[in-house]
Amino acid sequence: MNKSKWNTQKIYSNTSFFLKGVTSLTLYNSGESKVYFRERTLEKGDYYLLEGDGTASDIDLEISFENGRGEAILDYRALQKCRTE
């Protein structure tokens, strides 16, 4: 299977995602508010890195901010479905 290019998304408020076939993921706190993610707290400038190891996972994640608003950047790669004939 082929991997997608990097998918980048800016997040400004509390949200949740379900991502399929993720091979690597980074969440970066680019704002002033604390970011809460998977029982972790990211201060300004901190990041969470899920390094790829050659496998893919479906990830159900919830991202929340101190006071409900902030700024974070989510980058991830996922598997692409390929047509076979």
pLDDT of residue 43: 98
Where are the domains positioned within the chain? 2-80
pLDDT of 5: 74
Q: Is residue 3 scored above 70 in pLDDT? A: no
Among residues 52, 17, 20, 22, the alpha carbon closest in space to that of 38 is found at: 17
Q: List Cα–Cα distances, 56 to 9, 43, 81, in angstroms.
A: 20, 28, 12
Confidence tier at 1 by pLDDT (50, 70, 90): low
Which segment of 7-11, 73-77, 79-83 scores lowest on mean pLDDT?
A: 79-83
Over residues 18-75, the pLDDT tens digits come to 988 888 999 999 999 999 998 999 999 999 998 878 788 898 999 999 999 999 999 9
Superfamily of domain 2-80: Jelly Rolls (2.60.120.10)
